[in-house]
Chains A and B, each alone.
Chain A
């Protein structure tokens, strides 16, 4: 269980998070929706410790994420970054196996490569892809490699940051289906941030809407369409008119 209580974060005068409260139960898939610049990525990075909140608490299974063994904490996570964030200087398989060949439980290189090729196959990439460099791949293939890297060490919790941004609708659908399949198959806790409603419907068990620095609405994905919340309705239907200013 991931719990956020009254989390605040500001950058200079810009108050991005203004008291976020959110619970994500183990083994469920939570999707955070919200407009561009509303702090979705900041929220995710606060949980991972990439950004330090100004106040509030974030706990994982009851333990404050800022205390304890950081490596052990991070070993429980996998993350797919918005742009893939693949390491340009490493081959595809070395990217996927990055965590596997390092640390106290490092695998021999050959074995790590085998695992990487298997994970690449799991996300629909051929073994020949393993020896290419990220710059030789299309955007969709880079996302798949990023996904393979996120699941390589079989983490308990996986974060997806805008997994379908920049992809055509068919490739976006493929990535959404892959994410759903993998999360169910691994029994992992998933947290996805997106403003792509097709991703929300494909991936989510629960949805939370972040607006104005707070969680505006949260509930099961089945209840999202029926909620009377004007902010959620404007957002999911993509209307210009409503309480959310279209010029931000």
Chain B
């Protein structure tokens, strides 16, 4: 009875530790390949386009609605303390430090981690990964490294764009719904925003981009056979990327701002 209970607890714990170890080794292997030739620049360019450029609409739409809703919420909350004037600065700080990178990261996780896992998983089950090996090409270097590098580089740009669009969303709601003066709103935004507010969000974005592509590649490379296997890999990639983004966000926020 007791040993059964302990076994029931111990098995998933051991499996979780083993999974963490496998992901860590996978990440280390990708990092190890970063500076060693050959470099697949064409694949990097394609990945930058697919991960960065094509994610702009979803990140932009997420940011503009979030910025607008944030302005409404802060105005409603601030009015309880006669502090409605903090709306521009809190929207800007909230977007740049937290909501821009986190929501951008989650949207990119949904869009990119899933597509990477599905693409690489399908390549695995249709023997395209084996074909790469027989053609003297390291699949990790050819498939995973360009995607991870592209996501790590593209995500800060997406976050910066999302920050700007989110602040613009707050400004739009501020001047149209909350009777703010346009020039005063923008002046408050700029005056209270510090470089590190933006910089910390961009660093978070780079980390989240790395996580998204890493999870997509890891689950794709380890996909089981058949449509069900690829489906499971895709789901696992999105779930694990999302959870890791939220966990990493907390850790980074502690590191950046706890003092």
Contacts and interface: CB of A to CB of B under 8 A. Distances in A.
A102 interface: yes
Contacts of B38: 102-103
B133 interface: yes
A89 B45 CA distance: 14
B135 A45 contact: no
Contacts of A48: 133-134
A102 B134 contact: no
Contact of B131 (A70, A75, A87, A102): A87
Contact of B134 (A79, A82, A88, A103): A79
A137 interface: no
A185 B130 CA distance: 27
Q: Is the interface of A mostly helix, strand, loop or mixed?
A: loop
Interface string B76-119: 00000000000000000000000000000000000000000000
Contacts of B135: 74, 98-99, 102, 149
Nearest to B46: A89
Interface string A194-227: 0000000000000000000000000000000000
Contacts of A99: 135-136
Given A83-B126, A85-B126, A103 B131 contact: no
Q: How large is the interface on A (under 10, 10 to 19, 20 to 34, 35 or more residues)?
A: 20 to 34
Interface string B121-141: 001001110110111110000
Contacts of A75: 136
A45 B136 contact: no
A71 interface: yes
A206 B30 CA distance: 44
B133 A74 contact: yes
B136 A79 contact: no
A77 interface: yes
Interface string A78-96: 1101110111110000000
B136 A103 contact: yes
B134 A77 contact: yes
B137 A50 contact: no
A203 to B, nearest CB: 20
A89 B40 CA distance: 15
Interface in A123-169: 149
A82 B127 contact: yes
A46 to B, nearest CB: 12
A77 B131 CA distance: 11
Nearest to A95: B131
Interface in A222-239: none
Interface in A49-92: 49-50, 70-71, 74-75, 77-79, 81-83, 85-89
A81 B131 contact: yes
Interface of B: 38, 46, 123, 126-128, 130-131, 133-137
